[in-house]
């Protein structure tokens, strides 16, 4: 018998069981995908540093060769050579290089590192130690190219291993998305067949009953929840006549009930309005407690606010004359916090009930309700108190989420600043470092002054370029949206660059009615500033235009136009590609597209196209509404035809 019931339950699961199985499947696939992603991220965490250190071994090998060729004295040359050899040893055995290398001796990366280590310790290093023969430098120079090839094999093996991990992670994500999509589509189909269509039939029967047709009956009677509802619905129709006789008596009772519910509804509405406005202040919470005590007749009432996961409250508010409840044992709050279960209230002691301030399984404190022992609170009183507690918890959660969102935006902007420093100033400094090395080499070999002067000129130009880029970056970092709105910030930028380049710049802003969030405004402003900086520095233009306007397909278009020398000439300018990279990265952060090109009449055009987050949500919602309305109309017509 039990086996038969189990078999029937498997063949005809309940709606709750089907939904639970669907959610478990989706959660399982998502958890496994995230677990795999975390594993790959953990293993690939140090790949970039390892590849960088492995690549530096090639440079260090040639630096040793350069040291061998320098015409320094014996003692100075030996000290320099020992320092370079020691530097190579440190890099070869550095934790950054060894950490991501697997311990498996058959791994290609391990084999490549072992080969580099073997050649260095057995073939090259013996030629560099004290007391080596006079021909050792020559033999080192003969073998260094082959050794660098072995180092290249190590770099290639490390890069291939990192790429393989990334490829495997992408494959797993694609598989997980495919499984999730299939599971969700199947679940939607099952819910449509077992939930939507039966509910529509029940609605149709209910409509006939509302019109006075008491002969209407539901015909969908399967062995599930909706079948039970349909049978109940039919029994309800059979008793409607009897219920009409007692309606007059119940009207008076419902009137009193309605007055009480109106008071409760007003309380809930005011609480929702005040808390949704972000007014999570002690005075508002205290007024809310006073109103709740008046409506329910319970009390005194108290609120204990605590950090998530903490067993001590940081603030206590009470409607009693004292600042906290008489039975409160703060700061030792474990007695209350541990008694209350995760869901629902709990009795702390006779005459006191504690309700958790909990939202999405995160607890933010307690709402303590005192009452006369022996006079237990009624259901509606507890329900109203729980509703107010849930609103307070939701406000706490919302405040916490806003704080987390602000932190994320700050970290993202810091990451953008770091990348911009690397793409501009760091590369300019690297260029100057190379020039200094060239200059030192020529000075040692006593080359012509003209060659030295040429390198000094390039070094001076690089220094001026780096200084200019530093000024631009400092201006960018100090940039803020002091005035309300993007238009005002753009007008300030246009005025600034117009004065700096002594050229007229016109702003055409037609986006006043479009909502942009703070992140989108910052990125848009920074791209416009970078494009204007390129106009002033490289384009040799006599005028420029900045256009911000709505585009087709709910997009926003930013255009920076000039009548200068055009893209080909500007691209040859040193440092131009840094600004282009910065604009491209910010455009990708907006999910948009950046295009650079020449204008038909001469000059250059920089155009950014992206869809704001608010418009993307509106378009997605409109499309879903249209699709759902078409499907619903067709299903209703089909159900009505079946009934007829």
Q: Are residues 411 and 374 in contact, defined by beta-carbon separation less than 8 angstroms?
A: no
Q: What is the pLDDT of residue 509?
A: 92
CB atoms within 10 A of CB 306: 21
Q: Outline where DSSP puts E strands in 446-496.
A: none
Cα atoms in the 13 Å half-sphere on the side-chain side of 461: 10
Tell me the average confidence (pLDDT) per consecutive run of 10 residues in the chain, 644 residues long: 52 69 80 73 66 75 77 58 79 73 73 78 75 62 77 76 75 81 82 77 80 73 73 77 72 78 76 69 76 78 75 70 59 60 57 76 76 76 80 78 73 68 66 74 70 74 70 60 71 89 91 78 87 85 92 88 77 55 83 89 89 77 60 46 42
Q: Outline where DSSP puts E strands in 319-406.
A: 346-349, 352-359, 362-370
Q: Are residues 29 and 179 in contact, defined by beta-carbon separation less than 8 angstroms?
A: yes
H or E stretch including 317?
strand 313-318
Cα(454)–Cα(458) distance, integer angstroms: 6
Residue 346: beta bridge partners?
A: 354
Q: What is the pLDDT of residue 475?
A: 62
Sheet holding 505-509, edge to edge: 505-509, 544-550, 556-562, 604-610, 593-598
Q: Would you state the structure tokens that stand for residue 155, as one six-digit string? A: 């770099």
Cα(128)–Cα(151) distance, integer angstroms: 18
Q: Which residues contact 4 (CB under 8 A, 6 or more apart)?
A: none
Angle subtended at Cα 164 by Cα 160 and Cα 167, rounded to the nearest 5 degrees: 135
Q: Are residues 555 and 516 in contact, defined by beta-carbon separation less than 8 angstroms?
A: no
Where does 120-246 have alpha helices with state H? Answer: 136-191, 197-210, 225-238, 240-245
Q: What is the pLDDT of residue 42?
A: 65
Cα(240)–Cα(219) distance, integer angstroms: 19
Tell whether domain 483-611 is in CATH 3.30.565.10.
yes
Pick the CATH number of 252-399 from 3.40.50.300, 3.30.450.40, 3.30.465.10, 3.40.50.720: 3.30.450.40
Q: What is the pLDDT of residue 243?
A: 74
Q: Which residues contact 114 (CB under 8 A, 6 or more apart)?
A: 105
Q: Would you state the structure tokens that stand for residue 460, as one six-digit string? A: 């001076």
Cα(104)–Cα(10) distance, integer angstroms: 48
Q: Is 482 exposed, middle or buried (0-12, 13-18, 19+ CB in 10 A)?
A: exposed
Residue the block writes with tokens 């903490």? 310
Q: What is the pLDDT of residue 636?
A: 40
């Amino acid at each position: 018998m039990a086996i038969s019931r189990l078999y029937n339950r498997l063949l005809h699961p309940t709606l709750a069981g089907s939904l639970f199985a669907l959610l478990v499947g989706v959660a399982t696939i998502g958890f496994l995908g995230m677990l795999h992603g975390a594993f790959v991220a953990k293993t690939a965490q140090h790949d970039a540093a390892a590849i960088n250190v492995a690549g530096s071994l090639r440079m260090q090998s040639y630096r040793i060769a350069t040291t061998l060729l320098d015409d320094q004295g014996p003692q100075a040359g030996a000290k320099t050579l020992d320092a370079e050899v020691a530097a190579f040893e440190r890099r070869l055995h550095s934790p950054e290089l060894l950490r991501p290398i697997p311990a498996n001796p058959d791994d290609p990366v391990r084999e490549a590192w072992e080969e580099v280590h073997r050649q260095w310790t057995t073939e090259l290093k013996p030629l560099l130690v004290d007391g080596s023969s006079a021909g050792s430098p020559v033999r080192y120079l003969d073998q260094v190219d082959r050794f660098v090839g072995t180092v290249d094999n190590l770099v290639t093996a490390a890069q291939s291993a990192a790429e393989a991990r990334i490829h495997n992670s992408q494959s797993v994500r694609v598989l997980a998305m495919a499984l999730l999509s299939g599971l969700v589509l199947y679940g939607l189909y099952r819910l449509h067949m077992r939930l939507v269509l039966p509910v529509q039939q029940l609605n149709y029967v209910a409509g006939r009953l509302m019109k006075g047709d008491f002969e209407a009956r539901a015909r969908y009677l399967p062995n599930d929840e909706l079948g039970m509802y349909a049978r109940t619905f039919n029994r309800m129709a059979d008793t409607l006549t009897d219920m009409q006789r007692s309606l007059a008596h119940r009207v008076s009772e419902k009137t009193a009930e309605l007055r009480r519910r109106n008071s409760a509804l007003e309380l809930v509405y005011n609480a929702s309005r005040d808390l949704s406005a972000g007014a999570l202040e002690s005075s508002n919470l205290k007024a809310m407690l006073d109103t709740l005590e008046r409506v329910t007749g319970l009390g005194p009432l108290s609120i204990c606010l605590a950090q998530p996961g903490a067993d001590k409250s940081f603030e206590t508010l009470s409607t009693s004359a004292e600042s906290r409840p008489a039975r409160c044992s703060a700061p030792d709050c474990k007695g209350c916090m541990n008694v209350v279960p995760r869901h629902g209230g709990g009795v702390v002691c006779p005459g006191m009930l504690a309700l958790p301030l909990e939202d999405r399984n995160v607890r933010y404190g307690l709402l303590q309700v005192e009452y006369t022992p022996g006079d237990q609170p009624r259901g509606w009183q507890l329900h109203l108190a729980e509703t107010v507690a849930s609103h307070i918890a939701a406000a706490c959660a919302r405040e916490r989420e806003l704080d987390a969102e602000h932190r994320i935006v700050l970290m993202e902007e810091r990451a953008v600043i770091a990348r911009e420093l690397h793409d501009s100033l760091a590369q300019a400094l690297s260029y100057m470092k190379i020039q200094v090395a060239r200059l030192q080499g020529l000075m040692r070999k006593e080359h012509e002054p003209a060659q030295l002067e040429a390198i000094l000129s390039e070094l001076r130009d690089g220094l001026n370029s780096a200084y200019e880029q530093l000024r631009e970056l400092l201006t960018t970092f100090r940039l803020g949206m002091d005035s309300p709105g993007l238009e005002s910030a753009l007008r300030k930028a246009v005025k600034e660059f117009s004065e700096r380049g002594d050229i007229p710049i016109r702003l055409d802003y037609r986006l006043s009615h479009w909502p942009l969030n703070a992140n989108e405004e910052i990125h848009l402003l920074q791209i416009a500033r970078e494009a204007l900086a390129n106009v002033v520095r490289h384009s040799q233009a006599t005028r420029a235009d900045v256009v911000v306007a709505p585009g087709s397909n709910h997009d926003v278009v930013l255009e920076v136009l000039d009548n200068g020398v055009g893209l080909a000439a500007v691209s040859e300018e040193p440092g131009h590609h840094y600004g282009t990279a910065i604009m491209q990265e910010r455009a990708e952060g907006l999910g948009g597209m950046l295009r650079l090109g020449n204008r038909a009449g001469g000059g250059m055009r920089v155009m950014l196209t992206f869809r704001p987050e608010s418009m993307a949500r509106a378009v997605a919602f409109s499309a879903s509404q249209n699709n759902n309305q078409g499907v619903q109309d067709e299903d209703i017509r089909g159900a009505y035809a079946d009934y007829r």
